[in-house]
Amino acid sequence: SVPLLQAARKSNSLNLLEVTEAELEEQFVRGDGPGGQATNKTNNCVVLKHIPSGIVVKCHQTRSVEKNRKIAREILREKVDLFYKGEDSDVFKEKKASEKQKQEKKRRVKENLERKKLFKEMQQLDKE
Protein backbone atom coordinates (compact mmCIF):
# COMPACT_ATOMS: atom_id res chain seq x y z
CA SER A 1 0.00 0.00 0.00
CA VAL A 2 1.09 3.57 -0.71
CA PRO A 3 1.42 5.94 2.24
CA LEU A 4 -1.26 8.50 1.47
CA LEU A 5 0.60 11.75 1.92
CA GLN A 6 3.62 10.52 -0.05
CA ALA A 7 1.49 10.31 -3.19
CA ALA A 8 1.19 14.09 -3.38
CA ARG A 9 2.98 16.05 -6.10
CA LYS A 10 2.19 13.33 -8.63
CA SER A 11 -1.08 14.70 -9.91
CA ASN A 12 -2.14 16.64 -12.97
CA SER A 13 -5.76 16.51 -11.87
CA LEU A 14 -7.94 19.57 -11.44
CA ASN A 15 -10.54 17.70 -9.36
CA LEU A 16 -8.97 18.59 -5.99
CA LEU A 17 -10.46 20.13 -2.88
CA GLU A 18 -10.18 23.90 -2.69
CA VAL A 19 -7.99 25.44 -0.02
CA THR A 20 -8.78 29.02 0.96
CA GLU A 21 -6.15 31.55 2.00
CA ALA A 22 -7.89 31.93 5.38
CA GLU A 23 -7.04 28.27 6.17
CA LEU A 24 -3.33 28.82 5.49
CA GLU A 25 -0.48 30.02 7.65
CA GLU A 26 2.54 31.10 5.59
CA GLN A 27 6.15 31.67 6.64
CA PHE A 28 9.33 32.46 4.75
CA VAL A 29 12.46 30.85 6.14
CA ARG A 30 16.01 30.22 5.04
CA GLY A 31 16.31 27.17 2.87
CA ASP A 32 18.75 24.34 3.36
CA GLY A 33 20.88 22.23 1.09
CA PRO A 34 23.44 23.22 -1.54
CA GLY A 35 23.80 26.82 -2.66
CA GLY A 36 26.19 28.33 -0.16
CA GLN A 37 25.87 32.04 0.52
CA ALA A 38 22.90 32.47 -1.83
CA THR A 39 20.92 29.98 0.25
CA ASN A 40 22.19 31.13 3.63
CA LYS A 41 21.30 34.81 3.19
CA THR A 42 17.84 34.70 1.60
CA ASN A 43 14.49 33.73 3.07
CA ASN A 44 13.00 32.20 -0.07
CA CYS A 45 11.90 28.86 1.39
CA VAL A 46 8.12 28.80 1.86
CA VAL A 47 6.49 26.93 4.75
CA LEU A 48 2.72 26.54 4.43
CA LYS A 49 0.50 25.09 7.14
CA HIS A 50 -3.11 24.07 6.57
CA ILE A 51 -4.61 24.95 9.95
CA PRO A 52 -7.71 22.65 9.94
CA SER A 53 -5.75 19.48 9.10
CA GLY A 54 -2.34 20.42 10.50
CA ILE A 55 -0.55 19.49 7.25
CA VAL A 56 2.73 21.37 6.74
CA VAL A 57 4.52 21.78 3.39
CA LYS A 58 8.02 23.20 2.94
CA CYS A 59 9.07 24.26 -0.56
CA HIS A 60 12.52 25.46 -1.62
CA GLN A 61 12.68 24.20 -5.19
CA THR A 62 13.62 27.50 -6.85
CA ARG A 63 15.32 30.77 -5.90
CA SER A 64 12.10 32.69 -6.54
CA VAL A 65 9.77 33.24 -3.59
CA GLU A 66 6.74 33.58 -5.89
CA LYS A 67 7.45 30.31 -7.68
CA ASN A 68 8.01 28.55 -4.35
CA ARG A 69 4.70 29.95 -3.03
CA LYS A 70 2.86 28.62 -6.08
CA ILE A 71 4.51 25.18 -5.92
CA ALA A 72 3.90 24.94 -2.16
CA ARG A 73 0.20 25.69 -2.64
CA GLU A 74 -0.09 22.99 -5.33
CA ILE A 75 1.59 20.42 -3.11
CA LEU A 76 -0.51 21.42 -0.10
CA ARG A 77 -3.71 21.24 -2.13
CA GLU A 78 -2.85 17.69 -3.22
CA LYS A 79 -1.97 16.63 0.32
CA VAL A 80 -5.18 18.10 1.73
CA ASP A 81 -7.15 16.28 -0.97
CA LEU A 82 -5.44 13.02 -0.01
CA PHE A 83 -6.01 13.69 3.68
CA TYR A 84 -9.76 14.18 3.31
CA LYS A 85 -10.58 11.82 0.42
CA GLY A 86 -8.07 9.06 1.16
CA GLU A 87 -8.09 6.28 -1.44
CA ASP A 88 -10.90 8.00 -3.36
CA SER A 89 -8.58 10.87 -4.24
CA ASP A 90 -7.49 11.29 -7.88
CA VAL A 91 -3.93 11.84 -6.66
CA PHE A 92 -3.93 8.43 -4.95
CA LYS A 93 -5.44 6.73 -8.00
CA GLU A 94 -2.80 8.26 -10.31
CA LYS A 95 -0.02 7.16 -7.96
CA LYS A 96 -1.39 3.61 -7.88
CA ALA A 97 -1.65 3.51 -11.69
CA SER A 98 1.93 4.75 -12.15
CA GLU A 99 3.21 2.16 -9.65
CA LYS A 100 1.39 -0.55 -11.56
CA GLN A 101 3.01 0.62 -14.82
CA LYS A 102 6.45 0.58 -13.18
CA GLN A 103 5.91 -2.97 -11.91
CA GLU A 104 4.78 -4.11 -15.35
CA LYS A 105 7.83 -2.53 -16.97
CA LYS A 106 10.15 -4.21 -14.43
CA ARG A 107 8.50 -7.54 -15.14
CA ARG A 108 8.99 -7.14 -18.91
CA VAL A 109 12.64 -6.14 -18.47
CA LYS A 110 13.25 -9.16 -16.25
CA GLU A 111 11.64 -11.48 -18.81
CA ASN A 112 13.80 -10.00 -21.60
CA LEU A 113 16.96 -10.51 -19.54
CA GLU A 114 16.00 -14.14 -18.93
CA ARG A 115 15.41 -14.66 -22.66
CA LYS A 116 18.78 -13.12 -23.53
CA LYS A 117 20.50 -15.28 -20.93
CA LEU A 118 18.91 -18.44 -22.31
CA PHE A 119 19.81 -17.41 -25.86
CA LYS A 120 23.46 -16.91 -24.91
CA GLU A 121 23.52 -20.29 -23.16
CA MET A 122 22.08 -21.93 -26.29
CA GLN A 123 24.75 -20.25 -28.43
CA GLN A 124 27.48 -21.49 -26.09
CA LEU A 125 26.13 -25.06 -26.34
CA ASP A 126 26.01 -24.85 -30.14
CA LYS A 127 29.67 -23.77 -30.30
CA GLU A 128 30.82 -26.71 -28.21
Question: Minimal CA–CA distance to 84: which of 61, 58, 50?
Answer: 50
Nearby residues of 10 by Cβ (< 8 Å), 6 or more positions away: 78, 91, 94, 95, 98
User: What integer is the mean pLDDT of 14-40?
Assistant: 80
The pLDDT assigned to 14 comes to 58
Task: Tell me the helix, strand and coil percentages in the chain, rounded to 5.
Answer: 60, 15, 30
User: What integer is the mean pLDDT of 4-24?
Assistant: 65
Q: What DSSP element (H or E) covers 43?
A: none
- Angle 79-85-89 from CA coordinates, rounded to 5°: 75
Per-residue model confidence as pLDDT tens digits over 60-96: 988 899 999 999 998 998 888 888 888 887 888 888 8
- In three-state secondary structure terms, 47 is strand
1, pLDDT greater than 60: no
Evaluate whether the domain defined by 21-86 bears CATH number 1.25.40.10.
no
User: What integer is the mean pLDDT of 21-27?
Assistant: 89
Helix axes 65-85, 90-127, angle to 10 degrees: 90
For the chain, which residues make up each domain, given as ranges?
21-86, 89-127
Mean pLDDT, all residues of the chain: 84
